[in-house]
Amino acid sequence: MAKPIVGIFGLTGCAGDQLVILNCEDELLDLAGALDIRSFHMAMSDNDEDCDLDIALVEGSVVQPEEVEMLERIRSRARLLIAIGTCAVWGGVQAMKNEEQREKLKRQVYGPKGKDFGIIPSQPLSSFVRVDYAISGCPIEKDQFLQAALSLIHGDLPVLPDYAVCTECKMRENSCLLLERGELCLGPITVAGCNARCPAYGQPCIGCRGPVEEANVASEVNLLREKGFTLVDIQNRLRTFGGQSEVMQVAPTERGR
Amino acid sequence: MKMVKLQKKNLNAFLAGLEKFGDLHGPVRRDTNDFAFQKVDAPEQIAHDCLRTILPPKKYFTKPVDTMFTFSEAEGYRAPDKDLHTKIILFGVHPCDIHGIKILDLVFGGQYRDEYYFARRRNAIVVGLDCMPDEYCFCRSTGTDFTEDGFDLFLSDIGSSYLVRVGTSLGDDIVLETSTLFQEIGDTDRRAYKRRSAQRINSFEVEIHLEDLPEIMDLEYESRIWQELGDKCLSCGTCSMVCPTCYCYDVVDQLNLDAKSGSRLRRWDSCLFKDYALVAGGHNFRADRGSRIKNRYFHKQRGFVAQFGRPSCVGCGRCIVSCPAAISLVDVLTKLRSRGNE
Ligand code: SF4
Ligand code: SF4
Ligand code: SF4
Ligand code: SF4
């Protein structure tokens, strides 16, 4: 079997997901041996900008018109396009304030220099192109990434969790922060895969992996309100990482109450 | 059944003396109100006031994530050996959890006997401990508040001592090994035991009726209750993880870096998960959350009764105390029964 030809790309994000790939220290050589990596700007020179790709791994969200073009170009080269990281999958923290005027923000941040470039609200890859698989996480989990990569090398579809952080939290037998301490934990609506890292350290889940399939946000909001959190608190937490995902939008009429 | 007496002040000496039978495990405090069964280095670490651990003892026999075998071209299929054969003493198992284990014995011992389960089961000594119910316990209603078997030893509090029932010959060996710590029981002890039992029976705050529940469930199959529950349920899976009798698992293969060798794992599953009833071709038999929560109730209180003659719920209350959405099995069953009478 020929090695899959791979390109690893970054749009707007912190490059944390590409770093996770580079941080697979013990596995990196094997991984590099099993893949034919042709493009990985963060890690190598002499990148091939034109070849067809079996797999394109794309990190980051789309915040500029130029990035839409870059992404479309990557898509046209790739058989499989895989979004890696919460920015690429859901828009990321930069989508938190998407309803604010871009021009105003640009003026505030860049002053007159802002005239030289355009910006658009931060959006996930799927707003522009077909995404074949989504590996979320802020950043992605190394083991999950490796397993997904290995499945693809083997010719299988990666298996990603369809269940919430709570499931792994209970498997680890953590004390429940939501029920025992009344903390604003998003575990019930956030997709698993991190082995409930934060609750295991006594910190509530802030939803960095994005919403689980069929997240019941309405019920989560109700139960948090019953615990005394305001809609503003809840909404701020929901939108920190899941800003662009429709499910995370609390009904607009309720906003700000 | 043989009965002896162990003074409370001798309990730790007794437990410390069990070393040769295996590693000692018991409930340890995790947080103010939370406990977990785990290995202890000294009996003093065990929390004797634990009523309910977060996970039931099932985690010892069917682990949350379990390796079934490894595979490679060179070595073929290899079963894991080490952790299937560690001898343990599980101390402080309450009657509901002993019944939970007995139910899993039935399920895993069925037509396709699960050797992973029974290898670990054979290596576990169960030392039961009685308890006083809280406002969530309803094991009296499920007939699981007392147990005649399923333990090697069972300790009941009779004041300054425990009355110890010996359930197996292995239990008897243990008593003989540490015989200097035990005494014969006398009339006062018998009376104290009966008083304690009566007191315990009278302490239940929750009562539900299960006798005709299967019929009631059939009558309420189309009830709107299921949809209401579906709206509330988060599909978070907590209730299945913490239930002593939920045994579903999913099987996945994990590859090593050569993409040729790897291991086959099984991982606790839940009928509340969206993809639980998803089949090839993309059809989902229970795409709707309400139908999934209905399945959980029907399996425990209806289907299991048809198959095994009793519900698979042992009334431990775990799913009630740990549901983030505050869905209570007792409330649901009470509502189903009273529908139409309100
Ligand atoms: S601490 Fe959070 S993630 Fe863990 S069980 Fe509670 S709600 Fe779920
Ligand atoms: S527990 Fe929540 S916030 Fe923490 S790593 Fe996991 S998904 Fe992210
Ligand atoms: S259904 Fe709930 S109360 Fe019944 S055994 Fe399971 S966790 Fe305990
Ligand atoms: S614990 Fe509650 S919210 Fe979570 S899956 Fe079970 S019933 Fe639904």
Q: Please give the pLDDT value at position B83.
A: 74
- E-strand ranges in A111-204 read 133-135
Q: What is the mean pLDDT of residues A103-111?
A: 91
Residue A197 lies in a domain: yes
Cβ of A219 and B325 within 8 Å? yes
Distances (CA, A) of B125 to B16, B21, B240: 15, 8, 25
Model confidence at A216, pLDDT cuts 50, 70, 90, reads: very high
Give the global pTM. Answer: 0.95
Distance CA B86, CA B61 (A): 11
Q: How far apart are CA A147 and CA A150, in angstroms?
A: 5
Tell me the CATH number at A62: 3.40.50.700
CATH class held by domain B3-59+79-202: alpha beta
Q: Would A77 be classed as within a structural domain?
A: yes
Q: Same domain, yes or no, for A226 and A192?
A: yes
* Segments forming the whole domain that contains residue A229: 165-254
Where do we find the tokens 């008593």? B175
Identity of the residue in B236, B259, B289 whose CB atom sits nearest the CB atom of A150? B259
Can you say whether the dihedral through the CA atoms of A57, A61, A66, A72 is positive or negative? positive
CA dihedral B274→B278→B282→B284, nearest 10 degrees, is -70
* Residue A254 pLDDT: 43
Residue A160 lies in a domain: no
pLDDT category, A140, cuts 50, 70, 90? very high
Using an 8 Å Cβ cutoff, are A160 and A187 in contact?
no
Please, is B328 exposed, middle or buried when counting C-beta atoms within 10 Å of its C-beta (0-12, 13-18, 19+)? middle
Q: Are residues A20 and A144 in the same domain?
A: yes
DSSP H or E segment with residue B35: strand B34-39
Q: Using CB atoms, which residue from A175, A189, A214 is nearest to B31?
A: A175
Predicted confidence at residue B339, as pLDDT, reads 75
- For residue A182, the distance in angstroms to the closest alpha carbon of chain B comes to 11
| Span A144-200, pLDDT tens digits | 999 999 999 888 888 899 999 999 999 999 999 999 999 999 999 999 999 999 999
Do residues A87 and A149 both lie within one domain? yes
**Which whole-number Å values give the CA distances from B241 to A93, A169, B275, B295, in the listed order?**
32, 10, 16, 16
The number of domains in chain A is 2
Collapsing DSSP states into helix, strand and coil, what is residue B153?
strand
The ligand 4 atom at the shortest distance from the C-alpha of residue B326 is 2
| A129 & A46 share domain | yes
- Which amino acid, B308? F
- Output the pLDDT for position A25: 86
* Same-domain pairing of A142 and A196: no
The answer to whether residues A57 and A172 belong to one domain is: no
Residues A139 and A170 in one domain: no
A173 part of a folded domain: yes
User: For chain A, what is the mean pLDDT?
Assistant: 92
Which pLDDT tens digit goes with each residue over A227-245? Answer: 999 999 999 999 999 766 6
- What confidence score (pLDDT) does residue A252 get? 40
Q: Is residue A92 domain-shared with residue A207, that is, in the same domain? A: no
What pLDDT is recorded for position A155? 85
Ligand 2 neighbours by CB, cut-off 6 Å: A 165, 190, 194, 196-198, 205-209
Q: Distance from the CA of A177 to the center of ligand 1, in angstroms?
A: 6
Instruction: State whether residue A153 sits within 8 Å of chain B by CB.
Output: yes
Segment A131-141 mean pLDDT:
96
Give the closest residue to B322 by CA, choosing from B27, B31, B46, B92. B31
For residue A256, pLDDT beyond 90:
no
Same domain, A122 and A46: yes
Within chain B, which residue ranges are assigned CATH 3.40.640? 3-59+79-202
Separation of alpha carbons B231 and B234, rounded Å? 8
- Among A190, A222, A214, CA closest to A204: A190
The amino acid that residue A163 corresponds to is Y
Report pLDDT for B341.
60
AA letter at B252: V
A41 found inside a domain = yes
Q: A64: buried, middle or exposed (CB in 10 Å: 19+, 13-18, 0-12)?
A: middle
Distance from CA of A152 to the nearest CA of B (A): 9
How far does residue A20's CA lie from ligand 2's centre (Å)? 16
Nearest CA to B286 out of B309, B302, B265, B269 is that of B269
| d(CA A114, nearest CA chain B) in Å | 44
Neighbouring CB atoms inside 10 A of A169's CB total 31
In a domain, A159, yes or no: no
- Residue of A24, A150, A167, A172 to mutate for B, most B C-beta atoms under 10 A: A167
Give the separation between CA A87 and CA A15, rounded to whole angstroms: 10
Q: What is the pLDDT of residue A257?
A: 33
pLDDT of res. B81: 72
CA atoms within 13 A on the CB side of A14: 11
What is the amino acid identity at position B286?
A: R
Establish how many alpha carbons lie within 13 A of residue A103's alpha carbon, considering only the half-sphere containing its beta carbon.
Answer: 1
Residue A215 confidence (pLDDT): 94
Give the max Cα distance, chain A. 59
Q: Which of A173, A212, A214 lies nearest to residue B55, judging by beta carbons?
A: A173
Residue B142, helix vs strand vs coil: coil
Predicted confidence at residue A253, as pLDDT, reads 38
Pick out chain B residues at pLDDT < 50: none
Q: DSSP secondary-structure letter at A63? A: -
A28-74 pLDDT, tens per residue? 888 888 899 999 999 999 999 999 999 999 999 999 999 999 999 99
Percent of chain A at pLDDT > 90 equals 79
What is the structure's pLDDT at B104?
97
Judge whether B40 and B208 are in contact, CB under 8 Å. no
Q: Are residues A119 and A17 in the same domain?
A: yes
CA of A137 to the centre of ligand 1 (A): 17
Measured CA to CA, the distance from residue B216 to residue B232 in angstroms comes to 22
User: Does A119 lie in the same domain as A17?
Assistant: yes
Pairwise CA distance, residues B333 & B327, whole Å: 11
